[in-house]
Amino acid sequence: MTETINIEQIRKDFPILDRVVDGKKLVYLDSANTSQKPTQVMDALVNYYKNYNSNVHRGIHILSQEATAAYENVREQIKEFIQAEDASEIIFTANATAAINLVAYSWGRANISAGDEIVLSAMEHHSNLIPWQMLAAERGAKLVFIELTVDGQLDMESAHKAIRPKTKLVAVTQMSNVLGTINPIDKLADLAHAQGALILVDGAQGVPHLPTSVKTLKCDFLAFSVHKMIGPTGIGVLWAKREILEAMPPFMGGGSMISWVKRESFAPNELPAKFEAGTPNIADVIATGAALDYLNKIGMQAVRQHEIELSTYVLKGFKEFSQSANGKSSDKLTFYGPHDVSVRGAVFAFNLGDIHPHDLGQILSEQNIAVRAGHHCCQPLMKDLGVQATARASFYIYNTKEEVDILFAALKEAGKVLGHVPSR
């Protein structure tokens, strides 16, 4: 593992970053939505289809054997990446949303009863909110929320009050896709386990950016998506402790997930096949292995350090931009979330004066700067923040300080065009 990122070499591996529109080079600041992919990942995808395309676990011919070996090797890679004990605890799903829904439908319907409580945080993505709303409505359970501090961190006093004897599950994001807040999962796990509850972690934003160990997190479930960590779309991961998975009923019925079938009954297969019905997304799982190889070569600690440096630079830019507004609050660039880079990731939701985020996003797009605008699948959080939407810039291993400068220069120009930010 290296300790620093070779940003020039990394950018060479992402050909899309060379795309030019109207003479302007792409500045991609939407990795919290989906990350770009290096040539190594694309090559792995093509190599599978070109040289050993076959179904897995079902053939004795050489193509099937090669595909199965490559497919199962990625399960081992993920085990190592998140420091799990057993590769059979790694369940492939379509995405993090599917992984969380698997837990809600299988574990939830077997364990949540009327009067039980499910604890969430006020910053949850809809993917870690709506499945629990549906389950609570069906079972007569109650949702309880951990509130936030003024700077967008979890209020741990609120957490102590929320997690109580009736709590059966705590479901919380590892890192907010809006605020960038990195949550103290291990402390929440201690609170949950003290009450006999389990804890599920939505790692969609955390796993791609942070060194992640399920042992350190002390979690019982971890869900994440590969497309946010330079891998292909269509692949998610659910990790859970073996004893929990073995006690859970199957989620979907069909091929592969059975041990035997009679006319009137069946017996589920062993893990992980029990939760992987039907033909899986073989090619994208195999390409996931190339993404993991790439991140491991860099080192996740180096990834984190790079983003700390970028975040420090971005926060400096926000401060300087606001100071240039001559004290007019309506002209300031307002961002949401912690100011302390030690407790936040490199994702920044912001608003510029009273410019609508969609208008701002369109203006930036005309400069070939890609950001996201909207509620970011966090409508309750937007309401808490007192806004309907924000713009959002999110950074990853291929982003540079020069791109941060380009963003702030474009924001200043956008303000001038719409008459909100005074010219220097």
Sheet holding 167-173, edge to edge: 90-93, 236-240, 221-225, 198-202, 167-173, 117-121, 142-146
Residue with tokens 């300080």: 401
Indicate which residues carry an active-site annotation.
Answer: 377
DSSP string, 198-242: EEEEE-TTTTTTS---HHHHT-SEEEEESTTTTS-TT-EEEEE-H
- Peptide bond preceding 272 in cis form (omega within 30 of 0): yes
Residue with tokens 């909100």: 420
Residue 142: its H or E element = strand 142-146
Alpha carbon distance, N-terminus to C-terminus of the chain? 45
Say if residues 45 and 287 touch (Cβ distance below 8 Å).
yes
Q: DSSP code of 107?
A: I
Rounded to whole angstroms, the Cα distance separating 96 from 86 reads: 20
Say if residues 226 and 99 touch (Cβ distance below 8 Å).
no
Residue with tokens 């369940």: 91
